[in-house]
Copies of this chain bind each other. A is one copy, B any other.
Amino acid sequence: MNHNPNIRHVGPPVERAGKVQPISPAVIADDRLVFVAGQVPMRNGLPAGDDIASQTHYTIDLIEGILQRAGCTLDDVVKTTVWLVNAGDYPGFNDAYAQRFPAATAPARSTVISGLIAPVLVEIEAIALRRPG
């Protein structure tokens, strides 16, 4: 392999049904920008919670854990993209999300309605910026 020395892959590898997936949880470019893969609220192969509030919190918990392994926190997130299965879940999603991303320092965000691969209500991806030094 001819590895790009300015790219760092954050593990552990994503597994589904016991099989390693071609997805890194996050990739760091130039030690600065952190691209976090779209996260869904699945735990041990099952949805983590029945409602949009618990699924949103669990998804952001996953992002927070990945960011930590990349040397960041939720405060360092600059952009999120959110896919909701049901438009009616928007208010509940937004309330839970606001508890984790306060308005004053919130990321830029796009939220659309979409189908998902996993049997869940929400998927969220994030881009963060590492701090210098």
Contact = CB atoms under 8 A, between A and B. Distances in A.
A52 interface: no
**Complex copy number for this chain:** 3
Interface in A91-111: 94, 97-98, 101-111
Contact of A38 (B30, B97, B101, B110): B110
A6 B112 contact: no
A104 B13 contact: yes
Interface string A1-42: 111111101000100000011111111011011011110000
A30 B32 contact: yes
A21 B114 CA distance: 21
Q: Say whether chain A's binding surface is mostly helix, strand, loop, or mixed.
A: mixed
Given A116-B113, A131-B4, A108 B75 contact: no
Nearest to A27: B78
B106 A22 contact: yes
A94 B21 contact: yes
A76 interface: yes
Interface of A: 1-7, 9, 13, 20-27, 29-30, 32-33, 35-38, 73, 75-76, 78-79, 81, 83-84, 87, 90, 94, 97-98, 101-117, 123, 125, 127, 129, 131-132
